[in-house]
Every structure is written in C-alpha cells, then in structure tokens.
Amino acid sequence: MKLLPHWVSRPALVGLLAALAVGAVLPKVLGLSVYSQNQVTETFLFVAAALAWNWMGGYLGQVSFGHSAMFGLGGFISARVLLALHLPFWMAWVVGGLVAAAYALVWGHPTLRLRGPYFSIATIGVGEATRLVMTYWEDLTGGSSGLSLPITQGLKSELYWWALGLMALVIAASYTLRKSTFGLGLLAIKSDVDAAADVGISPTLMQDIVLLLSGFTVGVCGAFYASYQNFIEPGDMFGFDRSISFVLMAVIGGVGTIIGPALGALVFVMLRQYLIGSYPQLYLGIYGLLLIVVILFEPLGMMGLFFRLARRFGLMRPEVEATLEAKAAVGGAAADPGARGGGAP
Amino acid sequence: MSVILRAEGLSKRFGGLKAVDSVDLELNDGEILGVIGPNGAGKTTLFSMIAGSIPPTSGRVLLEGKVISGGSPRRAVRAGVVRTHQIVRPFQNLTVLENVMVGAIYGKARPLGARERALEVLDFCALRDRAPQLPGGLTLAGRKRLELARALATEPRVLLLDEVIAGVNPAEALQMADLIRSVREKRGLSIILIEHVMPAVMRLSDRVIVLDAGKKIAEGKPQQVVKDPRVVAAYLGESASAAAASQPGSSAPTPATGAVPRSLATPPSNPTPASLPKKGPGGNH
C-alpha cells in the first residue's frame, strides 16, 4: 500500500471501486429504459452536487443557502461557451465551473468570516440577489425565456458515463477532504475557529480553498445539468428551491458525514419523481415535513440511523460511533455542551 | 541570561478604554515570568497581542529581535510563540490525539510524523492513555493538560499559559505545576504565566510583573512584589486593612481564584501564604 497516502483505507477504496463497477454494469444488467437511465444520470449528478455542498455545510459547518448561484452560473456560462465557441462539452463545463468558483470567492471571501446562522443568512441574500440579476441579464441568460442548447444525437446516454465519472471524482474528493491532514484542519476550524488560528491554522485561507472547490464542483454540476436538459432558464437554475435542494439532500443523508449526502441525493431524486407525479401541489410541503422529522429525530440523517444500527448489532463500538458523530456534528455545541464551559465535571 | 522575547510599549485601546497601556516586558531564555493583576487588568489582552490574536494599537513584540506582533496568530506560532486559553477550548469533534495532531501539523506546517510527535507530547502531558477519546470525557484538569499539549505540539520557544491552574483541585494543581516546571526543564521552553492561584505563581515564577488597569505597576521577585504597597492597593483597594481583617483564618487550602486577596493579605513575616499546598524541595522560591 506504499502507493497510497496513509489516510486511504483499503475498505474505502474497495467500496468506491465496487460502487463504480455497479454503476458501470447497471444499465446493461437491469436493461434500463432510456427514461430510467436518465434518472440514474440525474441522480449521479445530484450526488456530486450534494457532496460538494457538504464540503462547506458539513465539513466547515458553514451552511450555505446560496449554492444555486454557482449552479446557475456554471450552467449559463457553459451554455454560452457551447453556443459561441462550439467547444467539446466537457471543456465548456470546466469553464463554467471556473467562473462559478471565481464568483464564489468574490462573495465568499468577505462573508466566510461570519459564522453559523449569520453566514447562512448572508448566503440567502447572495442567492436571491444573483437570481434577480440573472433574470434581468438577458444577454447572458436569455431572461425568463431561457436558453436552448443544440441537441446532439446520443448525448444523453453518453452523459451517463460522464456523470458516473464526475460522481466518482467527487466521492474521492470528499473522502480526501475529510481524511487528509487538510481535513483535520477543517474539523478544527468547524469546532473553534479562534482556537484553530491560535495553533497556526489560517482559517481564511482554508475556508477560501474549500469554497473554491465547492463552487467549482457545483458549477460543473450546473453546466452538466444544462447539457443534460438542453434547455435552462434562470428561475429554475438560480431558484431558492435549487439551493434548498442541496441542503435537503445533505440533511436527509447525513450532513457532515463523508457519504451521507450521496444517499440523501439518491432518496431526494427518487422521491421527487414520485411526489411531483403524484402530489404536484404538496411536494414542497412534504419535503419540509421530512426535514423537520429528520432534524428532530436523527440529526445525522440516514448515516445517523446507520451508525445507530451498526452499534446496536455490535458492528461498531460505542466509542467509534461517538467519534464519528462528533466529527459530523455541525456547530461545536452539539458535540458536548457540558464540556465547553470549563466547569468541573 | 539572554532575552528571548521583548514587548516594547504595548498598548491596546478598545474605544475609550485603554485595556493595556504601554507595557514593556522582557522574558529571559528559560525563565518563567508570572503575570498577575486583578480582574480586568489587561492580562489576557496582553497575551492576545503577544500571541498575534489581536493587533496592538501601538508598540511591538520581538522574538529574538524579530517582530512577530501585528500579524496573525499563525505568524507568532511559526516564529515559536503559542498561547493557551483561560477557558479551555479543545476541538470537541476531534479525539485527544487528533487535537494534539492539529498542533503538530499546523504549528510549523510539518505534516510528516505528526502522529508520532503528538503521541510523544501526550506522553509528556500524561494523556497518552486518553488518546482515542473525545475531550468531552476528560476532567477539567485533563482538558487543561490537553490545551497545554496542543500548544506544545506546535514546538514553540515561548509558551503563554493563561490560567492553566485555576479551577482544578489542589492535587491536580500540584501536578500541573510540576508539568509546567518540566516543560521548562525538559523541553527548554521559556514561559509567561497568567495565574490567579497565588501559591502557584509564587512557587513557579522566577520573576513577576503586576498589571493594574492596563499599566505595569510592579516587577520583581515574587516575594518582593506581593509586599509592594501599590500591589496590595491594586488588589484590595486603599482600605485594604478592613478587607484583610474580615478574613483572619484563611485555613482552607483551596487554590481557587478567591484565594488571591487572602494570600496577599497575609502578614509580611510569612511570604508564602497559608493556602500554599505543601510540596517537597525543588520549588523555585
């Protein structure tokens, strides 16, 4: 194992490769219809986006309600690049991602010094302001009537493989960002930003790096989405429920865990198809209800449930579970309120 | 003895309040310097400026002739000055070992071998067997040692300890005092110590400076400083004798913050106050 850094565990590597293999043979084995295969493509895409959101919201504890800004910007920039320059679509995605990352840094560098709810409120403002500007900026977004991309034969089935690759990269990045020494620094910042600074961490620099990565990835996801949909309009790309959907996926799956948001995205995309079909008026309300239930009863979502079951059936020692939960918890107080005050135990 | 750290005319103004008012300070290599003073005297603000957490309004801090103030804490830590916090601030989401590893990795930006270096520091601070636990499970004394261990892992030259003894029980206070002494002796660090537990300050410090209302009002050997009338007045007010008379038998050997006026009020014939926990030879006074 000398080839790999010390923090890469063999089971994690095997798990990722196995998931990739399953993803690779899935359409053939199940004989998926075109429609179903597209559903899976979209799921992969949102797995990537939810994980990238989690780098900010879960790893740093900076919960963003404005990630639609990067998603939409990535989409429209790449669409414009495709229409104007006829580049290969993956190049346009990278351009979209880069512009989204740059934009993220522009608003994020000043706002990231806010912590907790203050940062979250600022991101709501950023998201909404961006949506309004983009709706009226017709030269870029086509205004409310949106933009259509050229339809290429066979593109959608090709996108399945691109989505699988994108998701694999983002899962690997999620793992690296948590397990590496960089990730240890992020956890320290999440717990206590001043104490982290006092032992030599530069919180500003590290938060900016995470924001850049998150913004880039979500921007690429938006660009991918534009290619996938062939048609995009600002209300959908920059909408507040777009931002909320990233939060929901992460919370349902387990915010702050490595793989939880991926599970959340899976559930989210499946559920949305069903709910939009069956209860088009109610589906947002049902999401709200789901969010409340999860936060009340299992703050770490599906991963929290998984940890709990694993401990119950003796697959995980209680100390290990406690450590995992502490790492995932957003907001230092959640981990152990009694330990903070300095009172004698 | 050579001077390792020097503060020149350090001042910090918060609006109309002069929290620290042109304080000069010299720390010799291998010395333990005590900083005492009543609540609100500016001790912690002084620390924050030396550690780079807040920029001074005027003045500067030099480590071996190199300016370290006015930048970020990172600059001070890289140069070799690190602080601990009065209210312990462990990273609650990291294990004890990981807490110390953060210091080992980021202190000098040296990730290689961080785990081994962190384990060595944990050994030194008697926390090795707690390595895989979360800090929430430690006693307050344990968390104070963790705070110290995390700072030590950054491999500093100068350690700023903000009340690492206050609030723990007498046995733990002695243990902590021994630990601080061995930080100096075995690791060769110079230490500045803010402490309210007077017996500990008296025993540990080679020299003491006294702050009151942001100004340095006295400096010298611990036994001389506590007899200084300006110091007694700062702690107890001008009508100090009345307060002292109301507490004749300071028998309780608890080194708590409340012990300060009592210890200072003990008659000059007995420079080591009654609340000093008994300890074998090897003390500094």
Q: Would A85 be classed as within a structural domain?
A: yes
In percent, how much of chain A has pLDDT > 70?
Answer: 94
DSSP structure string for A4-40: S-TT--HHHHHHHHHHHHHHHHHHHHHT--HHHHHHH
Residue B21 has pLDDT above 50, yes or no: yes
Domain assignment of residue A261, yes or no: yes
| Residue A340 forms part of a structural domain | no
Query: Domain total for chain A?
Result: 1
CATH number at residue A78: 1.10.3470
Domain total for chain B? 1
Q: Residue B247 domain-assigned?
A: no
**Percent of chain B surpassing pLDDT 70:** 83
Q: Is the ipTM of this complex over 0.95?
A: no
- Closest partner residue to B136 (CB to CB) among A194, A195, A336 is A336
CA distance B205 to B203: 6
Contact A197 B72 (CB under 8 A): yes
| Mean pLDDT (chain A, rounded) | 86
Greater confidence (B203 vs A49) lies with A49
- Measure B230 CA to nearest chain A CA, in Å: 32
Using CB atoms, pick whichever of A181, A185, A199 lies closest to residue B154.
A199
CB contact under 8 A, B73 and A344: no
Q: What is the model's pLDDT at position B129?
A: 92
pLDDT tops 70 at residue B212:
yes
Nearest to B264 by CA among B44, B6, B38, B72: B38
Say yes or no for a CB contact (<8 Å) between B89 and A185: no
A306, pLDDT greater than 80: yes
C-beta separation of B274 from B264 below 8 A: no
So what's the pLDDT on residue B238?
Answer: 61
pLDDT given for residue A332 in this prediction: 43
Q: Are residues B106 and A199, on separate chains, in Cβ contact within 8 Å?
A: yes
Q: The pTM is what?
A: 0.84
CATH of the domain at B67: 3.40.50.300
Cα atoms in the 13 Å half-sphere on the side-chain side of B209: 20
Q: Cα(first)–Cα(last) distance of chain A, in Å?
A: 44
pLDDT given for residue A2 in this prediction = 57
Instruction: Give pLDDT, residue A321.
Output: 84
Tally of CA atoms within 13 A in the half-sphere of B63 that contains its CB: 18
pLDDT single digits (tens) A166-183: 999 999 999 999 999 999
Q: Does B92 touch chain A (CB under 8 A)?
A: yes
Reported as a single tens digit per residue, the pLDDT across A97-130 is 999 999 999 999 999 989 888 999 999 999 999 9
* Residue B164 falls inside a structural domain: yes
- Tell me the residue range of the domain where B67 lies: 3-80+156-218
pLDDT of residue B194: 92
Instruction: Tell me the mean pLDDT in the region B192-201.
Output: 86
* pLDDT of A206 higher than 50: yes
Range of the domain at A321: 31-330
Is residue B187 assigned to a domain?
Answer: yes
Q: Which residue has the higher pLDDT, A243 or A31?
A: A243
| Model confidence pLDDT, tens digit, residues A262-289 | 999 998 888 888 888 888 788 778 888 8
Distance CA B52, CA B72 (A): 5
Q: Is there a domain that residue A312 lies in?
A: yes
